[in-house]
Amino acid sequence: MKDSLPITFLRPPAGAIPISWEIADAIGIRNGDRNFEIDSRGPWQIPTACRGIRMSSKFNRLPGYVTTDAVTIWGPGTLSAPRQSGYTLEGRASIPVFGKVRAFTSSQLFELPDKSLRDCCEVFCCVYSDK
């Protein structure tokens, strides 16, 4: 199933995104939540890399509010050169079509076919611009 990534959801619902068992297997959340894998160094545990599921969204900016037109799951990936920014880490991630792009850590809730919810760590990639 990893060969079928990336997967794009058009007009996803607000909140949990419903997914199939095949997608859950591809991103590794069938049997439970997926947490970040963080590499660090030194006595202060400074992060050097952070691995999670790479995702991006395309937004539609309307007068007064913003809607999500599409969400793309790019698959597992690494946030390189992370630096702490408040509660998140910011850095760069590699996307096949776009190359190295700005990214930050976040999370996404998925709904499996049996109606259970899974929380997934997310490396959110900023690939779409307003231009």
Q: What is the pTM of this model?
A: 0.84
Kindly state the tokens that stand for 24: 């859950």
Up-side HSE of residue 70: CA atoms within 13 Å toward CB? 10
Strand partners, 106: 122
Taking only the tens place, the pLDDT of each residue in 67-118 is 888 999 998 899 999 998 888 999 999 998 889 999 999 999 999 999 999 9
Full residue range of the structural domain in which residue 12 is found = 2-125
Is residue 6 a part of any domain in this protein? yes
Please check whether residue 81 lies inside any domain of the structure.
yes
Segments in the chain forming alpha helices (H): 21-27
Report the mean per-residue pLDDT for the chain.
87
Asked if residue 37 belongs to a domain, the reply is: yes
DSSP 13: P
> What is the number of domains present in the chain?
1
Residue 32 lies in a domain: yes
* 60 part of a folded domain: yes
